Chain A
Amino acid sequence: AQSVTQPDIHITVSEGASLELRCNYSYGATPYLFWYVQSPGQGLQLLLKYFSGDTLVQGIKGFEAEFKRSQSSFNLRKPSVHWSDAAEYFCAVGAPTDTDKLIFGTGTRLQVFP
């Protein structure tokens, strides 16, 4: 069964600084990978997804993520963080052999200082 780990519970960065949020997955083959963002008290919005092809994926709001099979990782990055990026970020994994489940990590809360 697939699983996903987000090692960082809380990250604080200054506005304009670069950002990297970590995501590690466990699955025997190439999984489907997703990053979502959640504003307080709201549902989740998809930032980007990966299922095949180019391992560097571009998403909305200036985010990108890179799939690294050797490290079982799918880290989310942004070169320059804006105050409006403060939110909770979730990594999720789906399995090609079990297309019905979608498993989420515990999330990383991002705080942005001016």
Chain B
Amino acid sequence: SQTIHQWPATLVQPVGSPLSLECTVEGTSNPNLYWYRQAAGRGLQLLFYSVGIGQISSEVPQNLSASRPQDRQFILSSKKLLLSDSGFYLCAWRYLGRGNTEAFFGQGTRLTVV
């Protein structure tokens, strides 16, 4: 069966520090991968998605970047965190090219920038 791992679960970082959140999927190959951010009153905002290694689509201009160095690994990064980067970050995967299938989510990372 497929599983998705996301870490860390919680993170407190000072303003201006770098960020690296990691997400890995097991039990499937060539998945679509997604990073979402959940902030109060804004629902789930799609940040990035990827259809393959090195292929990243950005949905919202921001202080963050994403990379996919391996087929089942998706990393969310920032060089210098802002207060506004605080939120709950969720990684998800879907079967590639099958839009009628649901996304499967990790447990999320609660990021607090102080």
A interface with B by C-beta (< 8 Å): 6, 9, 32, 34, 41-46, 49, 51-52, 90, 92, 94-96, 98-107
Contacts and interface: CB of A to CB of B under 8 A. Distances in A.
B34 A99 contact: no
Nearest to A42: B107
The main secondary structure of chain B at its interface with chain A is strand
A41 B34 contact: no
B107 A94 contact: no
17 contacts: A34-B103, A41-B110, A42-B107, A43-B106, A44-B105, A45-B105, A46-B102, A49-B102, A99-B97, A100-B32, A101-B49, A102-B103, A103-B46, A104-B44, A104-B45, A105-B44, A106-B42
Contacts of A103: 46
B8 to A, nearest CB: 14
B46 A51 contact: no
Contacts of B58: none
Contact of A100 (B51, B90, B92, B110): B51
A44 B92 CA distance: 9
Interface in B62-99: 88, 90, 92, 94, 97-99
Contacts of B105: 43-45
Specify which of B90, B94, B100, B106 lies most central, judged by the most chain A CB atoms within 10 Å of its CB.
B100
A32 B102 CA distance: 9
A62 to B, nearest CB: 19
A61 to B, nearest CB: 15
Given A94-B100, A100-B49, A100-B57, A43 B90 contact: yes
Interface string B43-65: 11110010100000101000000
A45 B108 CA distance: 12
Nearest to B42: A106
The 7 closest A-B pairs by CB, nearest first: A99-B99, A106-B43, A104-B44, A43-B105, A51-B100, A44-B105, A46-B102
B41 A102 contact: no
